[in-house]
Amino acid sequence: MADYYEVLGVDRNASEEEIKKAYRKMSRKYHPDIAGPEFEDKFKEVNSAYEVLSDTEKRRMYDQGVDPNNPNAGGFSGSAGFDMGDIFGQFFGQGFGASQGPVPRTQPGRDSLANVTIDLKTAIFGGTAHVDIRTMALCPDCKGSGSAGGAPTTCPDCQGRGFVQKVVRTMIGQMMSSAPCERCEGHGTIIENPCPSCMGHGRVRSKRNVGVSIPAGIHDDTRLRLASQGEVGECGGTAGDLYIDVRVEPDKTFVRDGDDLHCWIEVPMSWAVLGHDFELDTFDGKRSIDIPAGTQQDDTVTVDGLGVTKLRSTKGERGDIIAHIVVHIPTKLTDDERDLIERFAAQHDNGAAHKVASQSRPGKSTGKPKGFFGKLKDALS
């Protein structure tokens, strides 16, 4: 029995979120469209592991020693490396053990994986992104039948059964053995005139552009599922799903924190002292921000309701914009400017220089804090 925990690289006590995260990482790593067709078996193994470990009941069965993907794997047939039903079926014919029959030509398609990058505005309001994918699509010439003309015909060797039987002499007498028909490869039918475009497979590799609906409030590194948009199966089989990994590119002005947007506004010291109005470019247009008189370095001003749309919100609620104030202290002054600052500091900072802070801010040293213009004098000295 395969060790599904080892396949996904997680502990046996891993949480659902850890298993989901590991699956996304491994599926991206081994997906044939990204890693190459030689990793197809490994990709299937990863999917099998996730199918079991992501389901509570299947995981419980697996932890008890039963593989839900192969219930016989934990019993006698699995430990011995063969299935007793297959063995008896080979000797005694179709009626004993598992039933046999033609293998359908139509097979379901695999899932596909693609990446798309969006800007922060699209993440806030939602929208449509477009991504080019190259995958297997329905053959436009034969419409998935695999035949250039006419329907497949019944195989004359197996009479449509998909397998043939023959008598085998053994030490205990004559036995009946069955095996897949070589002529039709177990399908029971033969395509006399295969489609030259798809060579009888009913599908061809094609490039197409897919529109992806981006929900408002989506987070970076989110995976979206587009049902039946993946790879078309053999001979027109149902398509797999298309998974889209969404990346949100960094914005030049805003930094996202949950549903809030943070930005940093540099203002002259006169604005901080006297107060001022400032026009901020937001994703909803320009908004006036009131910088109150006496604003200190690292103070914040909040603009309500102009942040990120809350994911799955039914009323379109949004977070806030939090503007951090950065006071710009000039490093060069004229003699007149310096004289004004020194006269103001003499009246304003003398008392403040001897006050002891009641509590220290994180990352700030305690002691006797200097007034705003005391800091300015230090910067200029």
Three-state SS for 212-248 is EEECCCCCCCEEEEECCCCCCEHHHECCCCEEEEEEE
Which CATH number does 251-328 carry? 2.60.260.20
User: Distance (Å, rounded) from C-alpha 302 to C-alpha 262?
Assistant: 9
For residue 360, the one-letter residue type is S
73 pLDDT more than 50: no
Task: Confirm if 151 and 282 have CB atoms less than 8 A apart.
Answer: no
pLDDT in tens, 200-217: 999 999 999 999 999 999
Q: Tell me if 80 sits within 8 A of 73, measured CB to CB.
A: no
For residue 111, the 8-state DSSP code is P
Asked if residues 184 and 191 have their Cβ atoms less than 8 Å apart, the reply is no
Report domain 1-82's class: mainly alpha
Taking residues 20-40, what's their average pLDDT? 82
> What is the pLDDT of the chain when averaged over all its residues?
82
Q: Do domains 1-82 and 251-328 have the same CATH topology?
A: no
Convert 12-67 into a string of H (helix), E (strand) and C (coil).
CCCCHHHHHHHHHHHHHHHCHHHHCHHHHHHHHHHHHHHHHHCCHHHHHHHHCCCC
Give the confidence band of 351 by pLDDT, cuts at 50, 70, 90. low
Amino acid 209: pLDDT: 95
Residue 260 · residue 319 · CB < 8 Å: yes
What tens digit of pLDDT does each residue of 87-100 get? 444 444 444 434 46
Q: Higher pLDDT residue, 120 or 329?
A: 120
Q: What does DSSP assign to residue 158?
A: T
Task: List the domain boundaries for the chain.
Answer: 1-82, 251-328, 335-381
Average pLDDT for 289-310: 95
- 372: pLDDT strictly greater than 60: no
DSSP bridge pairs for 355: none
Is pLDDT above 90 for 70? Answer: no
Asked if residues 195 and 147 have their Cβ atoms less than 8 Å apart, the reply is yes
Query: What CA–CA distance (Å, rounded) separates 172 from 47?
Result: 44
235 is in an annotated binding site: no
- Is 195 annotated in some ligand binding site? yes
Instruction: Determine the Cα–Cα distance for residues 46 and 34; give it in Å rounded to an integer.
Output: 15
Considering only 42-46, 252-256, 282-286, which range has the smallest mean pLDDT?
42-46
Q: What is the pLDDT of residues 162-197, one digit of tens each?
A: 998 877 776 676 777 788 899 998 999 999 999 999
Is residue 83 within 8 A of residue 72, CB to CB? The reply is yes
User: What's the pTM?
Assistant: 0.64
184 is in an annotated binding site: yes
pLDDT reading at 368 higher than 80 = no
Q: Answer whether 115's CB lies under 8 Å from 203's CB.
A: no
Return the pLDDT at 74. 44
CA distance 207 to 209: 7
Using DSSP's 3-state secondary structure scheme, residue 309 falls into: strand
Share of the chain above pLDDT 70, in %: 81
Residue 356 has pLDDT above 50, yes or no: no
- What is the SS3 assignment for 244-307? EEEEECCCCCCEEECCEEEEEEEEEHHHHHHCEEEEEEEECEEEEEEECCCCCCCCEEEECCCC
pLDDT for 214-237, tens place per residue?
999 999 999 999 999 999 999 989
Percent of the chain with pLDDT over 90: 49
Q: What is the mean pLDDT of residues 317-336?
A: 93
